[in-house]
Amino acid sequence: MSVPQTPHMFGASTTAAEVIDGIDLHGRRAVVTGASSGIGVETARALASAGADVTLAVRDTDAGARVVARLKAELPPTSGQLTVGRLDLADRSTVAAFVAAWHGPLHILVNNAGVMAPPDLIRTPDGRETQFAVNHLGHFALAVGLHPALAAADGARIVSVASIGHLFSPVVFDDLDYRYRPYDPWTSYGQSKTANVLFAVGAAERWAGDGITANALMPGNIADTSLARHMDMQQVADFIASGELALPPQKTVEQGAATSVLLAASPSVEGITGRYFEDCAQSEPVAERAGAVAGVAPYALAPENAARLWSVSEALVG
């Protein structure tokens, strides 16, 4: 069945600057996680260029400060303010501290940070598998903690950066942390990205009455990003050669940030919530992973999966 498309003139080659052109975000406040590199920087740049005050929520505050200095030098004087906040999504204490330090409404939350396919199993200090902990649980705790600020904004938007990698695995509720099955970097990444989509579905259901919309997206195949910093590149080459990994055409970082910016700021998606986007449009469902370079798995949008994940996540983050 065809998915209704949002009205726009954008596509796979659209850049964040093209999406934000003509949009006025003065008076709005935004948080972008992982904004010290890659599409996070370009997302922050676009939102600030339209007048939003943007907080770069980053693990390395020195790197974040360098980005802020660079963007301030490049952006026009009418741009919004840029600040840096410390946030390590693997460390619950920094999430709690970030939330405690936030005052006033929050209009845009872009859950952008992530880790991709470390070759060996890594656990966080509280025993969680790292990809699920960082990509999903940390962002879940952040969004829930900031919910009052989002509700106070009267029309806030949450943007959850997922991936076509969600096709590698649903959320395996009986073994989230690879305690009973052999660790695999790709199924682990896949379930964390599925969780990113399900979070948007769950937030859309729970927080609609607060005027909050939440959507997920696939940014694209972007080479110039630190997301793959933990990956074994020979393993990736072997995986591609085996036919297990299908990739869409490469995008620039500026193109990769476009769908995030669309969901964060564009009037064309006003009121749309609980959906999955790619190339600045809602995605079509796919029936299987084999050969797919686009689309969304039905299990990633299933309300029953979203409800279960929400309950499990609440229990895990306390």
Q: Which segments within the chain are labelled E, that is strand?
A: 29-33, 53-58, 82-86, 108-111, 157-161, 213-218, 221-222, 250-251, 276-278, 281-282
Copy the structure tokens of residue 115. 């880790």
Q: What are phi and psi of 220, to 5 degrees?
A: 125, 180
Copy the structure tokens of residue 294. 């686009």
Look up 189 and say whether it is catalytic. yes
Amino acid at 110: V
Q: How far apart are CA 92 and CA 144, in angstroms?
A: 13
Copy the structure tokens of residue 171. 């959320």
Report which of 60, 102, 108, 41 is spatially closest to residue 253, judged by C-alpha positions: 41
In whole angstroms, how far apart are CA 316 and each of 115, 180, 205? 19, 18, 20
Query: 259 Cβ partners below 8 Å, 6+ apart?
Result: 217, 218, 219, 220, 277, 278, 279, 280
Q: How far apart are CA 259 and CA 184, in angstroms?
A: 29
Q: What angle do CA 116, 118, 124 make, to 5 degrees?
A: 95
Q: How far apart are CA 206 and CA 197, in angstroms?
A: 15
Which listed residue (180, 189, 276, 299) is catalytic?
Answer: 189
The alpha carbon of 296 is separated from its chain's Cα centroid by a whole number of angstroms, namely: 15
Query: 238 Cβ partners below 8 Å, 6+ apart?
Result: none
For tokens 């939330």, what's the residue? 99
> Is residue 149 within 8 Å of residue 180, measured between CB atoms?
no
123 strand-pairing partners: 129
Supply the residues annotated as catalytic: 189
